[in-house]
Structure 1
Amino acid sequence: MRPPLMIFAAGLGTRMRPLTNTCPKPLIKVAQQTLLDRALKLGRQAGLHPIAVNSHYLPGQIAAHLDGTDVAISEENDLLLDTGGGLRAALPMLGTGPVATLNPDVVWTGRNPLAALANAWDDRMEALLALVPLERATARVGGGDFDMDCDGRISRKGDFVYAGAQIIRTERLTEIPDKVFSLNRLWDLMIADGTAFGLIHDGGWCDVGRPDAITQAEAMLADD
């Protein structure tokens, strides 16, 4: 199964200031390559198609960067919709089946997380989240997000960090009446039904959310 891919590129990048005062965070470079290009490379290597990217903050720079490519842009010009609202707004570009989503402000080493998720997906699942143990979550600030049982089902509060990549069914997006909402709302519904699962990423992972994390990510890549 090779689903379409949604890359979340609309955020304000407040934690990355002052670098994001004049540049959207997805266009910040790590080891001479933009975070957005790194995300697109993962999607293409995994064979995911079509690919959509949302935009809101400094959208002209995102559009110019993607000009001439086959990547669709879901524009959130008037209102930043958060992950749930943003995914729902992009569905006309992505179809009605399961969709892979990716946060571009993460650098990975090891196996391609999107390919690993696609290979592990099965019909029991409404969501399959890439997870990394807290002790291997480079540049992470704060605790873990989830626990996981022996069957791979996830629950809230544990020592696994959501790594920023997943495959998720989109039918339940219609159950959320709000225009702006997080995919956490869907995850909670799926966790309650036992249909949310986790997959541990066994390579390196770095949260590039702050300027100082760029150096940490580049060091991780150099050691790979």
Structure 2
Amino acid sequence: MVELLLATTEHPKVIFLDAVGTLFGVRGGVGQIYSRFAREAGVSVAADAIDRAFRQSFQSAPRMAFPGVDRSDIPASEYQWWKAIAAQTFSLAGAIEQFDDFAQFFRPLYDYFELADAWFVYDDVPLALQNWQSMGIELGVISNFDSRLYPVLEALQLSHFFDSITISTEVGAAKPDPVIFQAGLSKHYCTAAQAWHIGDSYKEDRQGAVAAGIQGIWLERDRAFATPPSQIESNTYSVQSLAGLLKPQSA
């Protein structure tokens, strides 16, 4: 892998960033949150069992994109997508049969992830966004998230940094599909060569961006869970933090 230069006089017209795992993460982890909500519903299941089951359920799920679905119906499709993952998660964890009414249980759990309490902003994010904004670089989000991303960014006081937000459910295509990157580019009237995309997924963010002609930068926040080296191209640009990446000359 190639460590990207931390400071440079050259900069892109726009920097796109992924959302979850790049800008912010789940506070306490999915397992803790799911198990806490389950406990309040009278269901006992260990957080680590939920974590394992959730990873398996999430990875095996179809990508969160609904081509051909009317925009007004997208929130309902998003809800059903997540409900299916949650149900499979509790099933794999051996707890689904303990629920009297899983549909009733799931609604407040889903709504919780629209609140600031469910998330934390990574320490390096605010300063990096401020630096890039001060340099006149346009900022955008490209994410395989759902429409809750809008209130989440607002609640986390990040929304004012971004000139565009592009999500898979609205585009009808999810990363690494080049279509979602092209949709993001169209909002900034720039070519792929004028853009960067930074994200924590090697396949979705790094390889997806490169396939669309964008400079893809892989953010390895936790190398303990990194993609195996044998699967990584030798010319991959990677960083472990946004701190120092493309700083203003006076900084």
Verify same fold: TM over 0.5: no
TM-score (norm 1): 0.40
Q: Higher RCO, 1 or 2 (CA under 8 Å, sep at least 6)?
A: 2
Q: Which has the higher helix share?
A: 2
Structure with the larger strand share: 1
